[in-house]
Amino acid sequence: MEDDKSNKSKTSESFQPKNPDERGPNKKIPKKKIHRGLALLILFLILFVAIVTRDLYLPADLSAKWDDAMPGTFAILKIGGKNPRQKQKTDSIDQDLEGAEDLVGEDLEGEEPLDNQKKTISKAEAEQMIFSSVLVQMVNCLGFSKVKIPSLVAVNIQDLMNLVGPEVGKAQLVERWREWRFNAQGGSQRKVRLETTEDDSGRSGKELHYFVKDRSGSDVPMELPPEQVANADESTVKALIGDSAVTFREVASAALYEAGERLEFIEKNGQLREIEFLKMDRVFKCQNVVDPKSCTCTD
């Protein structure tokens, strides 16, 4: 009997859990684990609040460094999925693109000046850059070795003559013609041209020509008294134009050099627009000095 009792006691003891914490679903969690979990949760909340509100207490440069160091973390934790600093960068890029559109669409056409804060160039600077490239073509065409072309050259005949001076020397300027276009009373378009002439003895003079445009747009000569044609000057021109509004002026001249070089040029409404430089058997010609595609070099 005693043996049976001892066996039953051993059997019942073998079914009892050795660790009281493993007694079914109602087992107790150690306090250390609870404290550790709470501490981790608190640290996570502190980190979350620090990241989200960093712009309120961190300087801009440190906040930007935080973004660079933790891009993935901030992308997950940022409020509403938007980064206000990134929006500022995007706005800045958009403004730069608008500035580029202004340069091409407005400033090169001379309509509106650009904002001083935009890193762009004015119409005058753009033309100076183009004129410089045209003069480089001219120097290469004519084989000038003493002419140095800067990156910006003012678009006028005096600056051009100063640049080629070391190569060809000083020039004698002669006027070839002057031309005025105006709208006469009644709406007809007319043109007066005062040309410089030279007779067989080498004496120079002025000769006047008067035109009216027909329906096809061609210039039709109008007769003038012979004495008015042969002895014309600017006072004669003013008498023909009268009170009509002048719409266009053109002056053609030539610079003659001692060694035989010849620079012919045309100014339209006061601006240099056409050049033709002759040196021995070479000719460099531009129909528009601010359009390199209009320039040619021929033998």
**pLDDT tens, 169-199?**
999 999 999 999 999 988 899 999 999 988 8
pTM for the full model?
Answer: 0.60
Contact 266, 289 (CB under 8 A): no
- Is the pLDDT confidence value at 31 over 90? no
Non-local CB neighbours of 293 within 8 Å, separated by 6+ positions: none
Q: Count other Cβ atoms within 10 Å, centred on residue 223.
A: 7
pLDDT tens for each residue of 42-61: 887 887 777 766 655 555 55
Beta bridge partners of 174: 254
Helix (H) / strand (E) element for 190: namely: strand 189-198
> pLDDT tens, 209-265?
999 999 898 999 999 988 888 878 888 999 999 999 999 999 999 999 999 999 999
Q: Parallel, antiparallel, or unpaired for β 271-279 and 295-298?
A: unpaired
Instruction: Supply angle C-alpha 12, 17, 21, rounded to 5.
Output: 150
Here the contacts of 125-132 (C-beta below 8 Å, separation 24 or greater) are 125/152, 127/155, 127/290, 128/152, 128/153, 128/154, 128/155, 130/290, 130/291, 130/292, 131/155, 131/289, 131/290
Residues 6+ away with beta carbon under 8 Å from 180 = 191, 192, 237, 241, 246, 248, 249
